[in-house]
Structure 1
Amino acid sequence: MQAPSAFEKRLQEAHGRQDLTTCLTLLRYADFACPVTDAAARGDERIAWPTFLGADRVWVVVYTSAEAMREATGDAVRHFRVLSLVELAAGWPDPRWGLAVNPGLEPSFLLEPGTVARLAVPTLEQDLAAEPDSGIPIVQKLLEVAQLQELLAGEQPRISGYCHHALDVAHIATPSVLADALLQEDALTAEGAVNLLRWPAIGLELYRTPYGGTDEGGRLAMAGWVIEEPPFAGMGLVPNATETIREYKIDGIGLPHGAEIVELAADGKERTQARYDADHGRWLMVADA
């Protein structure tokens, strides 16, 4: 393949010297051309994942550029949508499917689903290793009213279930939009607000990225550790194809000093309701809340 871009030239060079680590790093941050049929481009049919059946699994097809796509298809495919790896992961159709990058060209790559998930959504430990100056990540959990009352009443609270990366929803200032993005509409209060438990993720190994599937076969295909009921996607993201929100599974972790309960009101303003005093094992209500 003639390299039509600087990115593809770097990818070719890394592949030529058999530097798989660099290849995967380049692919992690790439934008891909995902083929779209003429009918879908006209709006006559729904956009579907372009696939082919291999010897052991179905493969989703993407290319590293529009030029690569046209070269591989003999100019038969003209339309495409641009997707990053994390956007591909957010809408991933099946935990058993893999990703074929540049099939029919050189270089090309076949990435198993577990590889796609781990490239698209690294663990918190890997994130910090890649960007050591980024500091301790902040995570948060949407609370239903009953959970809020239980949290405030308990001593030395421990948190289990799922939380998400606060940075990924920092742009959302509307409670209903946030609840919809996290598929937690029942967290809305009668006043149209949501309550958030927010805290620094101290002890990153306790915040495990939930790779897996909805059954044992899906878990094995993803080389993961979690089995959950649908709509769980097993790619380390909230199962909402229109969002890219990283989530983490936690099991009985203690809250650190300074954890906060924050109300995001219907007017879009955040109001801190309480802060956790780990020294005394109690919540301190904020006077102006």
Structure 2
Amino acid sequence: MREWEPANAFEEHLGSAFAAGDLVLCLSMLRHAEFALPITPAAAEGREPAVWPVEADDERTWMLVYTSIEAMRTGTGGAIRHCRVVSLLDLAAAWPDLRWGLAVNPGLPVHFFLESGAVARLAVPSLVQDREAEPESGVAVVQKLLRPRDVHAYLADGGSRVSGYCHHALDVAHIATPTVLVDALGQSAEEMVTDEGSVVILRWYAVGPDLYRTPYGGVDEETMAAVGGWVIEEPPFIGMGLVPNVDQLIREYKVDGVELPYGAEISELTVEGVERRRAMYNADLGQWMLIPDAPAGAPGQGHGSEGP
């Protein structure tokens, strides 16, 4: 075990919690931490792609990260001097193999070894955990893209239930182009984009957050078990609670026949980047109420307006 001195206040507090055996506090600190992910000098100069820094033992392959550049240099005996800065969320979005684990500060007195399931749950907590951590944040808003042919089932037939995958609305609020939104979610433009170039969005308050399960899982029984999950899906499913897109950090949830609450909305995001509300669900009547077109610039018609 190499000699090591904390490089900053974060490492001092982490070291104190580690010495006290307070694993819960340690993990809560790691959840929001930034890490030094070792890379080669050539990768730092852009002369070669970065590869995952790993070491293997009899148990599994471990990805190596450190809580500071100083910790990285001490932990590697000065052999590694270059890194890129990442968060647990960044790592979860690009996690290469669910059978791998994460080694934080290997070789140093304050160190942690986390299985992929622990990384997933720290990086992408459930809606229930989000609400418990920040009760003042209110009820989360989620949304789901509707295929054009599915809109009729809601508006004409009075559909009021939703199944499948939905996404945290905050994570896509910055996207104002239909094709970019479809691509960010890893979905098919051929299925989702209308003839006019728009997409249709179903958006609602996630009442009853325990109904919105974070899809930890894998592409087969082995990888599902590795992450301690419950879902098996075809690739490019990554099983860490995020859409399969390393360039977009978008949380996703899986629901099964959830009843839509009062005020759920169906909106159209046009090719011009304007979002227009088309209908609102009246749960008292069990009907969707159509919303007439509003003139350009009317309140509530721009993309990113609060809702539903």
Give the TM-score band, short-chain normalised. over 0.9
Deviation at 1:205, TM superposition (A): 0.7
Q: Do structure 1's residue 167 and structure 2's residue 187 form an aligned pair? A: no
CA distance in structure 1 between the partners assigned to 2:57 and 2:198 by the alignment: 49
What residue number does 1:209 align with?
A: 214
Any unmatched runs of 5+ in structure 2?
A: 295-308
The secondary structure found in structure 2 opposite 1:106 is coil
| Counterpart among 243, 249, 254 of residue 254 in structure 2 | 249
CA distance in structure 1 between the partners assigned to 2:102 and 2:193 by the alignment: 37
Task: Give yes or no for contact 1:117–1:235 (8 Å, CA) kept in 2.
Answer: yes
| Counterpart among 215, 224, 232 of residue 227 in structure 1 | 232
What residue number does 1:259 align with?
A: 264
RMSD: 1.1
Task: Give yes or no for contact 2:39–2:51 (8 Å, CA) kept in 1.
Answer: yes
Task: Give yes or no for contact 2:153–2:159 (8 Å, CA) kept in 1.
Answer: no
The secondary structure found in structure 1 opposite 2:85 is strand
Report how many residues are paired.
289
Task: Give yes or no for contact 1:159–1:250 (8 Å, CA) kept in 2.
Answer: yes
CA distance in structure 1 between the partners assigned to 2:157 and 2:196 by the alignment: 25
What residue number does 1:8 align with?
A: 11
Deviation at 1:53, TM superposition (A): 0.7
What residue number does 1:218 align with?
A: 223
| Counterpart among 113, 117, 122 of residue 120 in structure 2 | 117
The TM-score with structure 1 as length reference comes to: 0.97
Deviation at 1:217, TM superposition (A): 0.4
The TM-score with structure 2 as length reference comes to: 0.91
Amino acid paired to 2:178: P
The secondary structure found in structure 2 opposite 1:34 is strand
Task: Give yes or no for contact 2:62–2:102 (8 Å, CA) kept in 1.
Answer: yes
| Counterpart among 73, 76, 91 of residue 88 in structure 1 | 91
What residue number does 1:268 align with?
A: 273
The secondary structure found in structure 2 opposite 1:107 is coil
The secondary structure found in structure 1 opposite 2:35 is strand
Deviating 4+ runs (over 4 angstroms): none
Amino acid paired to 2:19: G
Any unmatched runs of 5+ in structure 1?
A: none
Deviation at 1:156, TM superposition (A): 4.1
Deviates more, 1:46-55 or 1:244-253: 46-55
Q: Do structure 1's residue 180 and structure 2's residue 183 form an aligned pair? A: yes
CA distance in structure 1 between the partners assigned to 2:25 and 2:164 by the alignment: 35
Task: Give yes or no for contact 1:212–1:227 (8 Å, CA) kept in 2.
Answer: yes
State the identity %. Answer: 58
The secondary structure found in structure 2 opposite 1:60 is strand
